[in-house]
Structure 1
Amino acid sequence: MLLRFALENHRSVLERVELSMVAVDRDRPAAREVPNRSERVLTTAVLFGPNASGKTNVLRGLAWLTAAVGESLQFWGRFWGDGVPREPCRYGDGPTRPSTFEVELLVGGIHTAYRLVVDDRRVQEEVLATYPLGRRRILFERTGDELRVRRGLGELAAGVRPLLRPTNLVLSAVLQLPETAPEVANVARALQGFWARVPRRVLVPAGFPPEGIVVPDPLWAPTAQLFDPQVSRDAELRRAVIEFLQAADLGVVDAKVVEHAPPRHDLRWWQTRHPVLVHRVEGREVELDFPEESAGTQMWFSLLGPVLQALRSGSVFLIDELDASLHPALSARLIQLFQDPETNPNNAQLLCTAHDPSLLQVLNRDEVWFTERTPQGTTSLVALSDYGGDQVRRSTNLERAYLRGRFGAQPLVDDVQLEEAVAQVTRAGCAPVLTGPG
C-alpha cells in the first residue's frame, strides 16, 4: 500500500508537494488497519482543482517514477544515450534544478521508503530504506557513481554494479536479479505493478527514427484482451466485466474481439483486432463496433479490466479524470468499490483526479486534495483535512462548501473578458473560417 508520495520539480510542480494516504478520521471502514502500524491507511484519494492547476501532473510524477523502475535499464540508455528523460518544471529555476521523487510504501507489511533524485544527465541519488522495527535500516544508498549496500547484501552489489550506468536505477537492475536480494526486488516489483491511466508524454530524442517510436496501446486494450482467447484464459475476470457492464444499465450484455486484419509479427495486438459490444434489443442481439458506442460506454468498458485487476491483486491504480464521460453515479460507484472492505478486501488503492463536485458526497475529508496554480504558474497541493475545524468538519456538506469557494481550487473566470471576446467576433459580421482535421 502507498503511504505517502512527494514530488519536486516535475512538470508544473516546482516546489515540493506531498500526498498522504494516512487517515485522519480513523474510525470508519475505509480507513484500513494494517499490521504493525498504529496509523490507518486510506484506499482512496481524489484531487480536485481548476484546469491547468496541475492535478494531473501530481499523478504523472508518480506514474513517471513507477515507469522509470521498469524501463530505465532497458530503454533509457538505448534511446537516450547519456541522458535521463525527466520533465522538469519550465518555470523559475526548474530546468537547472534536479527532480526529486519519494515514496513510502508497505511492502509485505514492512514500512519502506524510496528516494530518487535525477537531473538531465544522470541519477544523482537513490536510497532504499526499511523500518522493520520502527528504526531506519538502509538497504542501499547510491550517490553519483558510488553504491553502498547493507551488510549481508554483497550479492546484490556484485550483481548490480556491472549493470549500473549513470542513467539507470538500481531498482531496475535488481529486477534482472530478483533472487540475489528478494527484499529489494519486492519493492521494485511493487512499484512496477502500479496501474496507471494517466497521460504520458512520448519523449523522443533528437534524431530518433520515427519507426522506432512505440505508440501506447489504446485505453480499451487491457479490458478487450480479456475477451480474446488467444491472449487471456481468465474466465472469472471476463465474467466480472460482463456483470459490471450489465449492472451499469448501458444495454450491453456481452463483448467479443473481432479480427479486422491478419495477425502479423510486426503489428501490435490491437492493430489487428478490436472489441465489439453486444446489445440485446427487443429480444434480439445487436453488435456494435467499439467506436459506435457512446463516450461513456467506451470509458466504462476501458476502466473495468484494470479496476477489477487492481482490486483482485491489491495494487495501486492511478486514473486521470475519473469522471470524464461517465455519469456521476458510475464515477461514485467506482470510488465506493475501493472504499468498501467487502469489494476491496486486498487493500487496493485508487488515486484519481476529478472535476465533478458531486463526488465529494462519497468522500471523507481526508480523501480530498486540492491543487491550485500559484502566481508563479506552478502547482500547490493541499489536503482538505488541513483546513481548520471551523471550515470543515466531518459533518460538513463538502460539495456545497466547495462550490461556494470555501476551499479555493476554483477557476476564476473573467466573465467580462469572455463577453468582450465574443462581442468582437460577432461584431465582425461574418463567421471565422475554421478548418478541421483532414
Structure 2
Amino acid sequence: MLLRFRVANHASLRDEQELSLIADKPRAERAEGEVPRSAYRTVPATAIYGPNASGKSNVIDAIAWMRFAVLSSFRQWDPSGGVPRAPFGLRPDKAAHLTEVEAEFVLQGVRYQYGFACDDERITSEWLYDYPQGRIRRLFERSGDGSPKFGRSLTGRVKMIGDLLRPNSLYLSVAAAQGHRLLGAIRHWFDRGLIVATDFDFSARLDDTIERYLASNRRERADLLLPLLRLADVGVAGVQVDEAEADDGLRSALERMQQFFQESVGGRIVFQGSLSHRVKTVHEVESGRYALALREESSGTQTWIGMLGPVFEALAHGATLCVDELDARLHPYLSAVLVSLFQDPEVNPHRAQIVFTAHDTSLLGRNTTLKLERDQVWFTEKDHRTGATTLFPLSDFQERDSASLEKRYLVGRFGAVPFLDDDARAALAAAIKQHRNLGEAAEEPRSGATATA
C-alpha cells in the first residue's frame, strides 16, 4: 500500500507538496488497508481535481518519475549524462534547486520510507527507513558523494555494493541489480506494486492486457479479464488475439529504438501498435459472431480495454494504480464503476488502491455507484503570480456533510476551479467585432464595382 507521497521541485510542483492516503476515520463500507503497528488505515481510492494546467497531472507524473528513477538509474541512465529530471522552470536559477521525492509504503507487513534528492548532475542524498516495531529505524543514508551509512539491521554485501555506485545512480537500484534480497524486494514494489497508467503508455498497457488474456487461456482456466471487459457494457463479448507476422530484424531494430527514446526522455513517449499481436474485439449479434479490429472501436472502448490489464494487476495483487485523467474518453458511469471496484471490500480483498486525476465532478455526487468521502478528494491550484502548484485535501475545509460536494466545488467553495477573465472575454468580443467590420469594409469596393459593371 502507498501511505504517502512527497515531492518538491518537479514540473509545476515548485514547493514541497504531499499526498496522503491515510483515512481520517475508519469506514467499514470501503476496502481500507491497515497500517502495521498503528491505528491508521488507508483509503482505497483518491481523486485529484483541478482546472486545466493546475498541475494535477504533474502529481501523477512525479510518482511516475520516481518509479522510473528507481527502476532505471543504474542500468539504463548514461553514466555521464546526469539526472534526467524536470525541475520547476519558471525561475531564473532553476538548476540551483534540488528535486526531492519520497514515498512511504507498506511491503510484506512492514512500513518503509524511501526517498532521494538530486540536481542535474547527481544524486545528492538518498535514504531508507523502516518501522518494524512502530518506531523509525535507519536502513541506509547517503549524502553527497560519500559512501552510504548503514544501519545494523541491513545485512548483506552492502558496502561492496556501494563500490559500484555512480554519482547519478540510486543505491537502491544498484543493490537490487546485485541481488540484495530486501532492497530487491523494495525495487520490485516500485516495479509491480506501483503501477502508472497515462496516455504515454497506452500501447504498453494494451500489450499487458493481451499477455494476461493469453496467459489465462494457456492455463486453460476461465478468463479473468472477461468480467471486467463485459462490465463496461460496450457490446464487446470477448477479445481475439492473432499473432502478427514481422521480420525479426525489423522488430529488434524497433525495440532498440523504442528503448533509446524512452531512456532519453524518461519514458514519456508514445509508441502505437504492436509488432507481436493483432487485437480484435468480438461482437455477438443476432446475425452471428463477428470480429472487428481494435482501431474500429470507439476511443472509449479502446481506453477501457487498455485499462483492463493494470486494473486486474492492481486488484489481484494489492498494488497501487495511478491514473492520469481517468475520465478521459470514458463515460462518467464507467469511471465511477471502475473506481467503485477498488472501494468494494469483496472485489478488492487485497486492499489495492487507485489514485487518479479527473475533471468529472459527478464522481463527487451521490447519484453514481461511487461514494467518495472527504478524505479521498484532493485539489490542485496554480498560483498565477509564480506558476507554482499547490496540492491540498478537501478535509482541510470544515463541511458538515458531503451531500452536495459537487455543487460546492463547482461554485468555487474549495477553489481549484478555472479563473474566468472577464477582461479577456470583453477583449475577444471587441476583436471579433473589429474583424467583422474590417471584412465588411473590404467587401464594399468589390460590391460597388460589380454593380457599376
**TM-score scaled to structure 1, two decimals?**
0.87
Deviation per CA, 1:56-88, whole angstroms, max 9, x where unpaired?
00111111111111111111135xx24000110
User: 1 CA distance for matches of 2:230 and 2:111?
Assistant: 40
User: 2 CA distance for matches of 1:187 and 1:272?
Assistant: 31
| 1:252 corresponds to 2:252 | no
User: 2 CA distance for matches of 1:347 and 1:394?
Assistant: 26
Cα distance, 1:143–1:35 mapped onto 2, change above 3 Å: closer
Aligned to 1:436: none
**Secondary structure, counterpart of 1:73 in structure 2:** coil
Aligned to 1:397: 404
Q: Sequence identity, in percent?
A: 38
Deviation per CA, 1:207-236, whole angstroms, max 9, x where unpaired?
xxxxxxxx984542221233446x984665
**Matched-pair contact (CA < 8 Å) for 1:7–1:18:** yes
Deviation per CA, 1:349-377, whole angstroms, max 9, x where unpaired?
10110000001122111100000111211
**Secondary structure, counterpart of 1:50 in structure 2:** coil
User: 2 CA distance for matches of 1:421 and 1:170?
Assistant: 58
Aligned residue runs from structure 1 range 1-400, under 5 A:
1-30=1-30, 31-77=32-78, 81-92=80-91, 93-146=93-146, 147-151=148-152, 153=154, 155-178=156-179, 180=180, 182-193=181-192, 194-198=194-198, 217-228=203-214, 233=218, 239-262=223-246, 264=248, 265-266=251-252, 267-268=254-255, 270-361=274-365, 362-374=371-383, 375-387=385-397, 389=398, 392-400=399-407
Deviation per CA, 1:374-407, whole angstroms, max 9, x where unpaired?
12111110100011x2xx2334311111111111
Letter in 1 for 2:379: F
User: 2 CA distance for matches of 1:97 and 1:191?
Assistant: 25
**Secondary structure, counterpart of 1:270 in structure 2:** coil
Q: Per-residue deviation at 1:176?
A: 1.6
Deviation per CA, 1:152-191, whole angstroms, max 9, x where unpaired?
545332341232100100110121233x4x3333222212
User: 1 CA distance for matches of 2:400 and 2:218?
Assistant: 48
Cα distance, 1:189–1:395 mapped onto 2, change above 3 Å: same
Cα distance, 1:335–1:20 mapped onto 2, change above 3 Å: same
**Matched-pair contact (CA < 8 Å) for 1:14–1:94:** no
Can you give the 5+ residue segments of structure 1 that lack an aligned partner in the other structure? 201-214, 431-438
Cα distance, 1:153–1:28 mapped onto 2, change above 3 Å: closer
**Secondary structure, counterpart of 2:196 in structure 1:** strand
User: 1 CA distance for matches of 2:62 and 2:433?
Assistant: 41
Larger Rg: 2
User: 2 CA distance for matches of 1:234 and 1:54?
Assistant: 43
Aligned to 1:434: none
Cα distance, 1:116–1:285 mapped onto 2, change above 3 Å: same
Letter in 2 for 1:74: R
Letter in 1 for 2:415: G
**Matched-pair contact (CA < 8 Å) for 1:224–1:274:** no
Letter in 1 for 2:229: L
User: 1 CA distance for matches of 2:429 and 2:219?
Assistant: 55
**Secondary structure, counterpart of 2:274 in structure 1:** helix
Q: Per-residue deviation at 1:327?
A: 0.8
User: 1 CA distance for matches of 2:406 and 2:15?
Assistant: 29
User: 1 CA distance for matches of 2:288 and 2:434?
Assistant: 54
Q: Per-residue deviation at 1:102?
A: 1.0
User: 2 CA distance for matches of 1:157 and 1:283?
Assistant: 66
User: 2 CA distance for matches of 1:175 and 1:235?
Assistant: 34
**Matched-pair contact (CA < 8 Å) for 1:226–1:234:** no
Cα distance, 1:412–1:427 mapped onto 2, change above 3 Å: farther
User: 1 CA distance for matches of 2:289 and 2:202?
Assistant: 32
Letter in 2 for 1:151: R
1:416 aligns with one of 426, 429, 447: 426
**Secondary structure, counterpart of 1:345 in structure 2:** coil
Letter in 2 for 1:321: E
User: 1 CA distance for matches of 2:67 and 2:220?
Assistant: 29
Aligned to 1:210: none
Cα distance, 1:189–1:259 mapped onto 2, change above 3 Å: closer
**Secondary structure, counterpart of 2:239 in structure 1:** strand
Deviation per CA, 1:314-347, whole angstroms, max 9, x where unpaired?
1111100000111111100111111111111111
User: 1 CA distance for matches of 2:202 and 2:75?
Assistant: 17
Q: Per-residue deviation at 1:12?
A: 0.7
**Matched-pair contact (CA < 8 Å) for 2:116–2:125:** yes
Letter in 2 for 1:32: G
Cα RMSD between the aligned structures?
2.3
Letter in 2 for 1:221: D
**Secondary structure, counterpart of 1:399 in structure 2:** helix
**Matched-pair contact (CA < 8 Å) for 1:315–1:348:** yes
Letter in 2 for 1:248: A
Q: Per-residue deviation at 1:262?
A: 2.6
Cα distance, 1:15–1:133 mapped onto 2, change above 3 Å: same
